[in-house]
Structure 1
Amino acid sequence: MIFVIETVIMSAFHLVFLIDNIWLEVFTDAAMLVLFLIPSLYYFMLLPIEREIVARQQTEKALQEANDQAELRVKLRTAELEVTNTKLETEITDHQQAELELQNTNEKLNASVIELELRSREDKLLSEMSELLQACTSIEEAYRVIDHIGPRLFPASAGALYMYSPSRNDLEPVLMWGNLPQEKFTRIFEPDKCWALRRGRLHVIDSLCKGLACHISSNVQAGLCVPMITQGETLGVLYLRGQEADTPLPFNQQLAVTACEQIALALGNLRLRETLRSQSILDPLTGLYNRRFMEETLAREIRRAERNQRSLNLIMLDIDHFKEFNDTFGHEAGDAVLRELGQMLKDNTRGSDVSCRFGGEEFVLILPETTAEDARQRAEELREKSRRLTVILRGQSLGIITISLGLAAYPNHATTGEALLHAADKALYRAKAEGRDRVVIAEGS
């Protein structure tokens, strides 16, 4: 500010020197006026300006400081936000990764639940099949159980069960389900045409072993053959494939193996049971029922005849001069005669009739729901057919075979099994006494 005043004063003095003497007085007066006005000018104009400038400078300084502080705070906040943003991005990434892992875990869990439900269903069906098979009393009944459970156990598959024939020279289908060509899968085939039977283990047919397809699996891109083995004996083979020949296997191979093991065990037990039962109720020489089975059956049929108020007839027959066959041709000849007569009786009895070997050369026929006249005619037919039997041993004919028959009826001749047998035996004795080769009806008819 002082500099401004000095400048003004010097300017004034300079003006004075420039003015001519003429104007000296005027200038002097003017200078005095100027000198008088300068303090006023300073006080009223320059000082407020100076104050305003100072205030503005202070304001600008304050604003600058505030701006600097604000910029600093912005920088700090920006840094904090960047850190927070980085953490947030990390958290978002971790959250997304966690969600993805949770989704994968959930998918795996759902798949595990589905797999568990499937395995539970399969175990339930296997258990059901096992229980039903154990309750079966015949192999035919077991086949019906397998035919019922098989399509449920392998719902997306077609299958067939092949069993060895009695001669064990070939296998024949006993049941099948699904979309299988009847003309192909109903054919009988030899065991050596099946890889599973030859290897004694599961055989898978797929595109990698297409050349190893066997009789069952020819023209099939995917299939499975499982041999049924129990106690060292092969009973047959189970064949499975998709409903269409070119589809992959739609089931677990272990399930097929487990099912086969259960089926083989059940069928093996049933065969053993039937064999033991046959040995206990069948005569090994003639194949007819034995005396024990005859007595049980006779008692049961008499109870049924009494309940239904129906008649029951019984024929007891004996081979005439049987001792002479043994004495002349030997016991082997006697056995041959017994076998031929047993076969003749089996071939000429109804499904409801029961043919038995009573003992030695004696036989008994139980004829349920048969009239006395029908029974007599049946006895005469058997007598005539026995005469036409031709028994040859070592190229030599054993001659004509005749039989004597005694006939008794319930309730006309007896009301119990023992009494009915006794009445038929007495009638047979009379037939022998009257000359053999005849039918005699019990007394009291």
Structure 2
Amino acid sequence: MTVSEKKVKVFSIVALALGSSAVLAACGSSGSNTSATNSTTAKKSAPVTVTLWESHNGGPVGDEMTTMVDNFNATHVGVKVNIVVTKASSKLLAAIAAGDPPTLAEISHYDGKYVRSGALASWNSYITKSSVVAQGNMLPAAWRNGEVGSTHYRLETDMKLSEVFYNQSLFAKAGISTAPQTDAQMATDAAKLKALGVIPIGWKDSSAHILPTFLSNGGSMLKGSNSVGHSVAFNNAAGTATFSYFHHLYAAGELQFHHGTTLREDFASGKIGMIDGTSAGYAKVLAAVAGAFKVGAFVEPSGSSGVHYNLAQGLGFVMPKADTTVQRNAAWTFVQWWFGAKQQAAWAMATGFAPETKAGIADVPASFLTTHPGLKASLAAALSPHTFPRPVSDSYNEVQASLDAEFFNAVTGKQSISSSLSTLQSQGDSYMSGASEL
């Protein structure tokens, strides 16, 4: 669906709503007490206001979120959502402590501190009555994201999946006809791109961009369960294969580390042949390239296991307990609408995020995917049985900080691979046992 088509669709919905109001007004125009009756009805049916703290900081994703809220308000007379774009993930806990939280907020996957303090309302009582936000309709990775035990405190709304974007013009010039499907193929393609005088690969040295390769090499994120008292499993063959692969690329001058903004800028200028990112970055990449060349995309390559593994991460809706039942019910009206198939498809086409529901994926036109390979790659990863929710325990947050540091040290040669993995294993086990440095 193009932007123009979306605008026409929204206009039609609003026009229909206005037209219905006009007909009702005309039907009730007789009688001397009409004005008084309408006034009383208006007071009784005043919409319940829901304040939504939304964490996207502008850009195409933030703009689309605002547009969707406007669409909801135009088609729902009983609920009005006021959107506030702010850093909800970092501000919500203080707002709850101060007794002034929003009705609804989008926060990151590290929500353990909210759950432990009993600050969040459970979605379970609403989910049991819904055919939309239901296990049969939600993708497994989205369904389990934000679930503690069997209780859902956070419903994932922005499914970020790891993928790689590439400059189709540079690929053609280097004689690369198809996107790489394995780590070995990506290394071969990197050498061909290097021969053109460009940087073959740009990568983010953060856990979400390391773990898919680690998993595809036979690794497992945690031994036991995602909780304190268990250990990590990095100092093994999977860790060695993963760290060694990236180290060889870096040593050959075929890999550079950067932050997301720098990666997109260098990619758009033609300095880099391919960059890794997530489905959240697809719209940003297209905006940065501005039509200078066609952007291709592929899911994270498979390693020694031969399987494409991926992680589902991203923001999710939570409800602080402070607001009234009436407000929480109104918030649920919006949330259930959000997970409707048409809304999910519209969100995905505008942002690159994969829908969280099977119905949402089915509603994305096949014709759209032919011209938007980033979303096509995201859908493939979302539907894969080898895509898992990112670990959310507070302890694992610290493990990831150690993973980022030791991976960078090993890949860039600041520390040997064996030493880095040994340090990572020791620190990771310590954090999972309850130690903390953050």
Please state which band the TM-score falls in when normalised by the shorter chain: under 0.3
Rg comparison, structure with higher value:
1
Q: TM-score, normalised by structure 1?
A: 0.22
User: RCO (CA 8 Å, sep 6+): is it higher in 1 or 2?
Assistant: 2
Q: TM-score, normalised by structure 2?
A: 0.22
Greater fraction helix: 1
